[in-house]
Structure 1
């Protein structure tokens, strides 16, 4: 996780902790909620979230491909029948926005 994502995660964690632990009441909650919605609608934030989502999908696809390559042939048919990822071709879209390497 890069430094920007780490800072963003930390800020979101602090905000969530404050909102959940606060006894300031509904008015303060509404104020925080409004600011949060404004931040979430910001195109720069949406772009960063999309890039993070794509990167996470790519990393997950590589990890799943590595696992499938190592254990896919050794698994019993009962498992590979239930986990289609182990039996599909290497270039097929897995439905999560990732492709097997």
Structure 2
């Protein structure tokens, strides 16, 4: 219940800020958010979280596939193989990079 109330308050606050502040304030918030997202500490944390998530997915898939055998759909197995390649190869992901 606490999360529902928090969500509702956040939604209401966002609506009020959005309608009262106008375009200028929106652009200021957008610029601030972009600066935070491009900060090296934030980017490193996001990269670490992504890497940990991929490792967890690979380990979980291995544990589950041992239990269920060949029942795992090929589409899921293909995705996990792709994750396994990225984790094993040490490839960097594109998190936080801008194409603009």
Query: Which bin holds the TM-score, normalised by the shorter protein?
Result: 0.5 to 0.7
1:64-83 pair list within 5 angstroms? 64-73=61-70, 75=71, 80=73, 82-83=74-75
Deviations 1:16-58 (A, max 9, x none): 8588422111111100000001011111110111011111111
The CA RMSD over aligned residues, in Å, is 2.9
User: Which one has a larger percent helix, Structure 1 or Structure 2?
Assistant: 2
Q: 1:42 to 1:59 in 2, by over 3 A?
A: same
Structure 2 gap ranges (5+) = 1-6, 89-100
Select 1:50's aligned residue among 47, 53, 70: 47
1:19-58 pair list within 5 angstroms? 20-21=14-15, 22=17, 23=19, 24-58=21-55
Rounded to whole Å, the distance in 2 between the matches of 1:19 and 1:41 is 25
TM-score by length of 1: 0.58
Question: Which aligned runs of 4 or more in structure 1 are off by greater than 3 angstroms?
Answer: 16-20
Report the number of matched residues: 74
